[in-house]
Every structure is written in C-alpha cells, then in structure tokens.
Copies of this chain bind each other. A is one copy, B any other.
Amino acid sequence: MSTGTKEHFKGKVLYLNEVATRDGFQNEAAFIDTDEKIVLIDRLSACGYAKIEVTSFTSPKAIPALRDAEAVMHGIKRVPGVVYTVLVPNVRGAERALSCNVNEVNLVMSVSETHNRTNLRMTREQSFAQLRDVIDAVRGTGVAINVSLSTAMGCPMEGDVPVEDVLGWMQRFAELGVQGVTLCDTTGMAHPAQVRALCESAAQAFGALELTLHFHNTRGMALANTLAALDAGIVRFDASLGGLGGCPYAPGASGNVCTEELVHMLELDGYDTGVNLAAVLDAAALLPGLIGHDVPSQILKAGRRLDLHPVPELAQGMPVQRAFS
C-alpha cells in the first residue's frame, strides 16, 4: 500500500509502438547515417516493444531524412515477436515496403480536410482512394495493415474535429478489412475528457479493430491523455524515444509523447508495458549525439523516480532554511 499501486492495474499488458525512427527522424533537418539508424533500431529491438515503426516509404524528395528506407529495412536484425511496421503513402511505397518483407504497413490520412490537403496535398477522398489501392495491393500478402488517422482530436487549422467524422473514417477503413486504426493527436490538441469519450466510442463501435492511440505533448497533456485512454480500455500506444517528433505549427514545443516517460509512469502504476525502461533510457541517451540537439525528454535529465541522489555536503556558509516545497 505504501507505493499506492492500484490492484486492478497490476500486470495489465500494454502494447507499445516505438515511432522515433519514423515520426521523429522525419522531422530532423540533418540526415542521420543509415548505419547509425540501424544500430539504434537494433537496440530498440532488444527493448521489448510490441512494434517498431522503422521508417517511411514516402518519396525521398518529400522526406529526404528517410531516403534510405530500403537500406535500413534490409540492415536491421529482426527480433522474433516484434512487429516491424513502416509508413506507406501509396502503391509505389507499398511495393517498396513489401519488397523489404515488412510485417505491417501503416497508412496515413487526416480526418480534417484542411490538414489532409496541407500534409498530403490531396482531398480526403483522393487520399482514401489512394489508400484503398494500397490496401488492395497488400491484402492477401500476409502483411498487416494499420491506418493512422491524423488530427483525430483536433485540427490546427479547422479546430474541433467531430467524433462522428473520426468514427466515419474508421468505418470506411474497417469495411476495407484493415487490422488496426491509430487515432492521432497530431498537434497535441486532445484533452483527457475528450480522449476518454472518443476512445469509448471508438472501442464500442469497432471492437474487432486493434485500436492504438498516438499522442503529442505539444501542450503538456500527453501523459494525462494516456491515463484517460487507459481508463477507456485502450492498451495500444505509439510513443517516441526522447520525445522526438514534433509539430510544424508549434515551433519549440514538445513533440510526440516520450517513450521513456510513458514507460516510467505506466510501470510505476503497475502496468506491464513489455519494455525494459533501463534499456530504453540507455538508447534515449544516444539521441542528442545522433541528432545534434537536445531532446524533450524530462526523465533523461531527471532520472527515474528512484534514481536517488547523495545527501549534499552541508558546507559552511550554505544558505539555511531554503524551504523548497
């Protein structure tokens, strides 16, 4: 009782998808060497994730940071049990991904029309038609299909996104036979009560789909939103090592929910994330050297809850009664 862990949480199994090398790296200005990417992903493979979103088979012109998608996929060592997924925007991308023997393709479109036009340069109907072609190309190959719905909890240009729209797009993809849908809070607009309500509605309507939540920490709410999703029964979460990733509409703000902060909180609360926190922290500590700048992760600076500190020397002349609360 002294640690306060609630019994009903004990050991509940969660499924974490590490997205740093896709959603994080695509956002970096400098190209990260293919070999360094492979070393990092191999380390991540040993951390216990359920899934790793390795890279993106988008056009090298669109995202030059991930122009080495094939080389990365061929270079990494696959750990049995880990699902290796990649982002695929179109049939050409799907063909490239299939040639690399991926376990899953992750398709993406926005729930809001304006964001879809900005991010993908198409109407939503054009995106849907294109993704339907991808699904047709992948179906029957044994490769799983997940659809990430961006701006599912708000659009930075349109504002509120109706729950009915989210459920409507889920319905259309469910009818195409996809295995999973990820609801993405692309620019960190979600708040806990909203998350709880949306997750309850989505889980109730689509019990057969694997439902994943993808949070950004743009306004500090990512971990709070995770709690709300857990309350609604969600067990699958995207997260990004170091909190990499970001939002072009909030320069300087935090990016995706930070893997090591998510795992730290969830393990303390009694969940079984499958992920080895110490190994993840070791991997996260490599990021600043790899990308050339600091990362949003707080826990990388502060250490884990029980990484204790020595008692300071009470030096002569030290201020007394500083009274920090």
Contact = CB atoms under 8 A, between A and B. Distances in A.
A23 to B, nearest CB: 6
Given A119-B323, A121-B321, A248-B324, A157 B309 contact: yes
A1 interface: yes
Copies of this subunit: 2
A28 B214 CA distance: 36
Nearest to A218: B302
Contacts of A214: 325
B62 A195 contact: no
A298 B253 contact: yes
Contacts of A161: 2
Contacts of A5: 193-194, 197
Q: How large, as a class, is the contact surface on chain A?
A: 35 or more
Nearest to A10: B193
A208 interface: no
Question: Quick one: which of A2, A118, A322 has the most chain B CB within 10 A?
Answer: A322
Contact of A308 (B3, B120, B159, B314): B159
Interface stretch (A41-49, A169-177, A261-269): A261-269
Interface stretch (A31-39, A133-141, A181-189): A181-189
A100 to B, nearest CB: 18
A322 B116 CA distance: 10
B3 A194 contact: yes
A249 B120 CA distance: 45
Contact of A270 (B19, B187, B193, B250): B193
Contact of A323 (B58, B182, B249, B258): B58
B118 A191 contact: no
Given A219-B264, A270-B193, A319-B61, A250 B312 contact: no
Contacts of A226: 224
A226 B221 CA distance: 11
A59 interface: yes
Given A219-B298, A320-B59, A191 B120 contact: no
15 contacts: A1-B163, A6-B197, A26-B323, A59-B321, A118-B314, A121-B320, A121-B321, A184-B325, A189-B306, A192-B265, A193-B269, A218-B302, A220-B223, A224-B226, A249-B302
Interface of A: 1-6, 9, 19, 23, 26-27, 56, 58-59, 61-63, 87, 89-90, 108, 114, 117-121, 148, 150, 154, 156-164, 182, 184, 186-189, 191-198, 214, 217-224, 226-228, 247-254, 258, 261, 264-265, 268-270, 298-299, 301-306, 308-312, 314, 319-325
